[in-house]
Structure 1
Amino acid sequence: MDPRISFVTLAVADLEATRRFYVDGLGWHPELDVPGEVLMIRTGERLVLSLWDRAHFAEEVGEPTMPGGSTGGIAPITLAHNVATKEAVDAVLATARRAGADPVSDAVERDWGGYTGYFGDPDGYRWEVAFNPGPIGQLVLP
C-alpha cells in the first residue's frame, strides 16, 4: 500500500450549515455537492475533504463515536492548513472568523519554532493554521 491519503471524511450534523461555512464563508469550491447527503471539496492535488451528513455516514460506515469510548470534549483529530508566512496565518484566521468559525484562537509562537492558531468548523472539527519554517512544514506547501 502506498503511503498516501485520498479522502478525509467527516460526519457532520447539518450539511447545509457546513456548506455555508466552507463554500460561502471560506470560498472553497465543491467538486461534488449532493444536498442533504455529501459535499466533497478538493483540498490538494490528490486529496478530497468529504463532508457527509451524519445519518448517511452512519448507514455506510457505522455510528460515529469518540475513539476509546470517551464522551465529551472535541474530536481527537485536527486538520491542518499550512501557509508560507506568519501574516498568512493571521489572514486565514481572520477569514475563518468572518465565515463564522467558533471558536477561533489567535496564533501564537510555538516552542518548536512555528506560529499557529486554530478554528472550529460548524461541527467543532478543529483546523490548525500553521506557519512551520522547518523542512516538514516546507514539504506540504504548494
Structure 2
Amino acid sequence: MAKPRSLYSGFTKQRISFITLAVDDVARSRAFYADGLGWKPIFENDEVFMRPVGQHLMLSLSSIEEFTAEIGHAPTTGIASLTLAHNCKTEAEVDSVLELAASIGAETSPALRREWGGYSGYFSDPDGFRWEIAMNSGPTGDYALP
C-alpha cells in the first residue's frame, strides 16, 4: 500500500502565519492591545489591526463585518473554544503581565502552579478572547521562548 502524500509535501513548509480574531470594535481592541498592552501594529485601518507576535506569525484583529465578508460566514458568538498563550521566562513576569491586563480593564484569573509543572493565569480581551499567560518548565518552555 502506498504511503499517502501530504497535501503540503514538496512545495511549502507547514506553519501558522496569521491568527485572525473577529472583534466588535477595532478601535476599542486597538486601544486595548496598542495603548494598553503596548503592542504596536505594523498595519492598521478602520477594519483591521495587524501585529507581529512571533517569528513569521501575525495577530490580526478584524471587524466582524470585514471578517464575515472575507470568509463568507459570520463568526459564532459566545466563548471561543480556544485560548491564545503568551509565555514568560519567570513567574514574576506572568504576574506582571496579568497585573497590566487588569490595570487596563481586562477580566483576569490569578496565576496558579499547574499540575503539568508550569505557572499560569488568564485574562480576557474586550471581545472575550482568553489569553493564557504562562511560565512553562522543561522542553515546552525551552521551545516556546528564544
Higher Cα radius of gyration: 2
- Name segments (4+ residues, structure 1) moved above 6 Å: none
1:80 aligned partner: 85
- SS of the counterpart of 1:30? coil
1:14 aligned partner: 25
In the TM superposition, residue 81 of structure 1 has moved relative to its aligned partner by 0.1
Gaps of 5+ in 1: 67-71
2:54 aligned partner: 44
In the TM superposition, residue 138 of structure 1 has moved relative to its aligned partner by 1.3
1:140 aligned partner: 144
In the TM superposition, residue 3 of structure 1 has moved relative to its aligned partner by 2.6
Gaps of 5+ in 2: 1-7
Paired amino acid for 1:12: V
Paired-residue identity, %: 52
Does residue 31 (structure 1) correspond to residue 42 (structure 2)? The answer is: yes
Does residue 89 (structure 1) correspond to residue 94 (structure 2)? The answer is: yes
Question: Would the aligned equivalents of 1:25 and 1:100 in 2 still touch at CA under 8 Å?
Answer: no
Alpha-carbon separation, structure 2, partners of 1:90 and 1:140: 18
1:69 aligned partner: none
Alpha-carbon separation, structure 2, partners of 1:137 and 1:13: 33
Say how many residue pairs are matched. 134
State the Cα RMSD in Å: 1.0
Alpha-carbon separation, structure 1, partners of 2:55 and 2:132: 20
